[in-house]
Amino acid sequence: MSQLQTRFFTDNKKYSVDDVPFSIPAASEVQELSNVINKLLEAKNGSHSQIEFDFLVRGQFLRTSLSNHMEAEGISTEDVVEIEYVERFTAPQPEECMMHDDWISSVEADSEWILTGSYDKTARIWSLEGKAVMTVAGHTDVVKDVAWVRRDGLTSLLLTASLDQTILLWEWNSERNKLKARHCCRGHAGSVDTIATDPTRTKFCSGSWDKMLKIWSAVATEEEEEVVVEEPPSRPRKKQKTEQLGLTRTPLMTLSGHNEAVSSVLWLDSEEICSASWDHTIRLWDAETGSVKTTLTGSKVFNHISYSPLCRRLASGSTDRHVRLWDPRSKDGSLVLLSLTSHSGWVTAVKWAPSHEHQLVSGSLDNLVKLWDTRSCKTPLYDVSAHEDKVLCVDWTDSRLMLSGGADNKLYTYRYTACETDAGA
């Protein structure tokens, strides 16, 4: 059994060990290394309790035995190996399962409420505990995307986009549980598949099957003739009635350039919009002028993108079953930084962790939700196999909650315990 000279280090002061080289069996795996660290910590600090660690060798998670990993990565075994260790990310614990009447097309949660859009033509507001609070009914067709706009005390503004080519801006009072349709945004000539609110919470952008992106104002203007929707709606509304829902609003700006349907849109910052499309491109737009700034070209249809301001990377889920990471700022060289390959179906949803620069979650048509760490691109951290059918949407909130919804009409929430050590690095 060959031995390797290793040196362990960590960013977390709580778990630091002496900076001396250790001789470790080359065949040792994560569990054995973890035991070694725990032994060292126990020797140092009597009150230390067992903690599971994960190990990084040159920024890559150790997933096989040390010798195999070094061989695969081409690291010399002659020198002292620097191994970083971090507290292991604990598995997300399933918490709630919210049953819907139909497929869940979209989910967005904030710190208090969860908003889901469903194929039964309604959107729903849930409390974090899984209690249905409100049904947002008004669309005449499938709700494709939902978004929170802003919250002033008890009043929230929210958006629902639908296959009926409209976006509805709603005002919801959580105390009185009253819902008002404030505006009906018309202008798209195809199903509105995606909406995103800008960081200033005054505008939003929508992407549609008609290849267009439109920017709208998200400010509700006061008007007299608004229709109050009773809760819950007694029956599905007819088309004539929904046409009166709210004031008709027209787009501030139309961004055209995509050759195929726009599948996902988001704001990088208040001036920059990023959109993914079926024409195999991701485009960055200037929100002021409405011109394309950069085009990232892939080889397959993009289903969804997500942006992390922490690591400044775009993650894209596409129909070739990979999650890819892009650098939207890079002007040269290969644009794809990393491919995360483990899904066996289309990746329909991706979402970066709001407080961790390496972690993201992805949902796929293979019924799996996968939790990834970008430092381990071949194997995900965890596979969450709660869903019995296609996963269509995932979300990840600041409040330690991951959500996923799919074609089995169930919205699952998972709670995880974040490691403070990694947050905001």
Partner 1 sequence: ARPGSVLHPPGPVLHPPGPVLHPPGQALLCTPPTRPGPALYSTHQARPCSVLHPPGQALLCTPPTRPDLVLHLYSTHQARPCTPPALPSQDIRNTVGNIPMEWYQDYPHIGYNLDGKKIFKPIRNKDELDEFLDKMENPDYWRTVHDKTTASDIRLSDEQVDLVHRLQKGQFGDVNFNEYEPSVDFFTNEVMIHPVTNRPQDKRSFIPSLIEKEKVSKLVHAIKMGWIKPRKPKETTPQYYDLWAKEDPNAILGRHKMHVPAPKMRLPGHEESYNPPPEYLLTEEERMAWEQQDAEDRKLPFLPQKHSCLRAVPAFSRFIHERFERCLDLYLCPRQRKMRVNVNPEDLIPKLPKPKDLQPFPTTMSLVYIGHSSLVRSISASPTGQWLVSGSDDCTVRFWEVNTGRCMKTLEVGGAVKSVAWNPNPAVCLVAVCFESTVLLLNPGLGDRLVVSSTDQLITSYEPPEEDKEQAVTWALSEGPEHDNGHRLTLTHPKAVKQVVWHGKGDYLASVMPDNSSNLQVLIHQVSKRRTQNPFRKNKGLVQCVSFHPLRPYFFVATQRYVRVYNLIKQELTKKLMTNCKWISSMAIHPGGDNLICGSYDCRLAWFDLDLSTKPYKMLRHHKKALRGVAYHKHYPLFASGADDGSVIICHGMVYNDLLQNPLIVPVKVLKGHQITHDLGVLDVTFHPTQPWVFSSGADATIRLFT
Find the part of the chain contacting partner 1 (CB under 8 A) among 10-18, 125-133, 247-255, 293-301: 293-301
Binding mask 179-198 for partner 1 (x = CB under 8 A): ----------xxx-------
Site for partner 1 in 133-162 (CB under 8 A): 142
Q: Is 299 exposed, middle or buried (0-12, 13-18, 19+ CB in 10 A)?
A: exposed
Nearest distance from C-beta of residue 302 to partner 1, angstroms: 11
Q: At a CB cut-off of 8 Å and minimum separation 6, what does 253 contact?
A: 214, 215, 287, 290
307 binds partner 1, rule: CB under 8 A: no
Q: Cα separation of 63 and 30, whole Å?
A: 7
- Per CB under 8 A, the list member of 54, 84, 96, 164 interacting with partner 1 is 164
Name the token pair of 197: 């609110």
Element (H, E) at 371: strand 369-373
Binding mask 76-105 for partner 1 (x = CB under 8 A): ---------------------------x--
CA–CA gap between residue 384 and residue 405 (Å, rounded): 12
> In whole angstroms, what is the distance from residue 172 CA to residue 271 CA?
28
Should residue 299 be labelled a site residue for partner 1 when binding is judged by CB under 8 A?
Answer: yes
Figure out which of the listed residues 303, 359, 362, 409 binds partner 1, where binding follows CB under 8 A: 303
State the Cα–Cα distance between residues 228 and 71, nearest whole angstrom. 66
> Judged by CB under 8 A, does residue 174 bind partner 1?
no
CA–CA distance, 69 with 62 (Å, rounded to integer) = 7
- Nearest residue to 406 (alpha-carbon basis) of 360, 368, 358: 368
**What letter does residue 139 receive in the DSSP assignment?**
-
301 sits near partner 1 (criterion: CB under 8 A)? yes
Is 6:24 a contact under the CB 8 Å cutoff? yes
- Asked if residue 271 binds partner 1 (CB under 8 A), the reply is no
Q: How many residues bind partner 1 (CB under 8 A)?
A: 26
Subset of residues 311 to 370 that bind partner 1, contact rule: CB under 8 A:
319-321, 345-346, 365
Nearest-approach distance from CB 122 to partner 1, in angstroms: 16
Please identify, among the stretches 6-14, 72-80, 215-223, 296-304, the one whose residues bind partner 1 according to the rule CB under 8 A: 296-304
236 lines the binding site for partner 1 (CB under 8 A) = no
The Cα–Cα gap between 174 and 125 comes to: 10
Regarding 260 and contact with partner 1 (CB under 8 A), the answer is yes
The amino acid sitting at 417 is T
**Rounded distance, CA 400 to CA 199, Å?**
21
CB of residue 286 to partner 1, shortest distance in Å? 27
What is the spatial distance between Cα 361 and Cα 352, in angstroms, rounded to a whole number? 6
Identify residues 390-409 at the interface with partner 1 (CB under 8 A): 390, 392, 407
Identify which of residues 85 and 302 has a Cβ nearer to partner 1 in the complex.
302
Choice from 85, 119, 216, 352 touching partner 1 (CB under 8 A): 119
Closer to partner 1 by Cβ: residue 18 or 389: 389
How many angstroms separate the CA atoms of 206 and 33, rounded? 49
- Summarize as ranges the residues that interact with partner 1 (CB under 8 A): 103, 119, 142, 164-165, 189-191, 209-210, 260-261, 278, 299-301, 303, 319-321, 345-346, 365, 390, 392, 407
